């Protein structure tokens, strides 16, 4: 049996924008600053003694650990967001997630039934939005492409591709109500 050559072509590819996590980063920064100020206020203002030096050293290490921990959390969140990739081809949507181990979900476009665009306030401020798709796929009935640029154009592209595939494959939807 010979398999005909594929005519599948990549139409769009993208990733969720890191800007979607800006509130998380700002909250982390404000929390670290407030915790640092609180720790510095707790530092006893005593006359120099061997005990005071060791206490100051301990506070220094605690402050350093606090900031390193916050940086590690921010970097981890950025890496997870960066490890998500969307690829829209002429026949399917492929979503790859994961950092060390990855999972790739393929959804045939002809199985997509509905789409919408959501623009939460913060995302709308920076020109981003979420494209939400509903499909007849049992493993991925609801798909969200988070924080993508120009979500209206992407939704329209998906819609045109889906319509073309439905016509080409003769797929019909039957409502059983």
Q: Give the per-residue pLDDT at 170.
A: 76
The mean pLDDT value of the chain amounts to 88
Residue 50 CB contacts under 8 Å (≥ 6 apart), including other chains: none
- Whether the predicted model's global pTM rises above the 0.85 cut: no
Distance CA 167, CA 114 (A): 16
Q: Is the pLDDT of residue 69 over 70?
A: yes
SS3 (DSSP) at 137: coil
**Tens digits of residue pLDDT in 10-66:** 999 999 998 888 889 999 999 999 999 988 887 765 445 556 567 778 888 889 999
Instruction: Please check whether residue 61 is in contact with residue 36, taking contact to mean a CB–CB distance below 8 angstroms.
Output: no
pLDDT of residue 87: 97
* Whether residue 166 has pLDDT greater than 90: no
Whole-angstrom distance, CA of residue 162 vs CA of residue 69: 45
Give the pLDDT of residue 168.
85
Lowest mean pLDDT among 4-8, 13-17, 95-99: 4-8
Q: Report helix, strand or coil for 154.
A: helix
The confidence score (pLDDT) of residue 171 equals 65
Residue 155 Cα distances to 34, 136, 161, 173, angstroms: 42, 17, 10, 20
Task: Find the mean pLDDT for residues 113-137.
Answer: 93
């Amino acid at each position: 049996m010979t398999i005909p050559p594929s005519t599948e072509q990549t139409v769009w590819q993208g990733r969720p924008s890191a800007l979607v996590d800006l509130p998380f980063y700002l909250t982390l920064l404000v929390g670290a600053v407030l915790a640092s100020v609180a720790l510095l206020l707790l530092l006893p203002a005593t006359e120099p003694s061997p005990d005071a030096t060791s206490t100051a050293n301990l506070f220094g290490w605690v402050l350093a650990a606090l900031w390193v921990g916050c940086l590690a959390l921010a970097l981890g969140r950025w890496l997870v967001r960066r490890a998500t990739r969307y690829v829209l081809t002429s026949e399917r949507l492929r979503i790859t997630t994961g950092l060390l181990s990855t999972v790739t979900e393929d959804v045939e476009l002809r199985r997509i039934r509905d789409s919408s665009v959501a623009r939460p306030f913060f995302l709308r401020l920076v020109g981003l939005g979420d494209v939400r798709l509903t499909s007849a796929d049992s493993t991925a009935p609801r798909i969200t492409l988070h924080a993508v640029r120009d979500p209206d154009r992407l939704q329209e592209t998906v819609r045109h591709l889906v319509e073309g595939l439905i016509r080409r494959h003769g797929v019909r939807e039957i409502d059983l109500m």
